[in-house]
Amino acid sequence: MSADDLGGGGFSFPVLDQPAEAPKKIPLTAFSTVTDRSGSAAKSPEAPVPITDKPARSKVPLEKGYSQVDWLKLSKSGADLNGLSGGSLRRDITLEEVKKHSTLEDAWMVLRGKVYNISPYLRFHPGGVPILMKAAGKDGTALFSKYHPWVNADALLEKCLVGLLAPAPEAGAEAQAKPASS
Going by the DSSP 8-state scheme, the letter that residue 91 receives in this structure is: E
Distance CA 46, CA 139 (A): 48
pLDDT band at residue 8, thresholds of 50, 70 and 90? low
CA–CA distance, 116 with 160 (Å, rounded to integer): 5
- The yes-or-no verdict on residue 28 having pLDDT over 90 is no
Domains of the chain: 68-165 (3.10.120.10)
Q: What is the pLDDT of residues 94-144, one digit of tens each?
A: 999 999 999 999 999 999 999 999 999 999 998 899 999 999 999 999 999
Which element (helix H / strand E) includes 109? strand 108-111
Computed over every residue of the chain, the mean pLDDT equals: 80
Element (H, E) at 171: helix 171-177
The answer, yes or no, to whether residue 4 has pLDDT greater than 60, is no
State mean pLDDT over 28-51. 59
C-beta atoms surrounding 24 within 10 Å: 5
Does residue 182 carry a pLDDT above 50?
no
Closest CA to 67 of 118, 123, 119: 123
Q: Give residue 74's pLDDT.
A: 96
